[in-house]
Amino acid sequence: MSCRQKRQRPAGTGRQGKAKDLPSLNDTTASAQRARLLAALKHKAIDTITIRRHLSILMPAARIKELRDQGHRIVTARVGRYDDQGRPHRNVALYTLVGGAK
């Protein structure tokens, strides 16, 4: 590949689905993480494993607390989930935004 050619992704490997609707995953500031998390919660309930994997938020509980401190009503339920390696996890937090947006 010459230095003038631009490397292209193979078809179908770009960002797809809801990730493109969320604020940038490259921004790791707490405010950007809260924005991504709140945007995801407005669509559906989301669990800790999914938040870490798809939203690039390593400490979801901290971001949930901050959103609650801002006045958002978020309830937590404990559920069973499997991780990417197929291992079962009990008591994974499932967060749901109650009453829509603040």
Letter for the amino acid at 58? Answer: L
Rounded Cα distance between 98 and 78, Å, is 16
Of the two residues 22 and 14, the one the predictor is more confident about is: 22
**Which of 18-22, 43-47, 66-70 shows the lowest mean pLDDT across its residues?**
18-22
Residue 79: band (very low, low, confident or very high) from pLDDT cuts 50, 70, 90: very high
On the question of pLDDT at 2 being above 70, the answer is no
Asked whether the beta carbons of 62 and 95 are under 8 A apart, the reply is: no
Global pTM value: 0.74
Q: Quick one: average pLDDT of 74-81?
A: 97
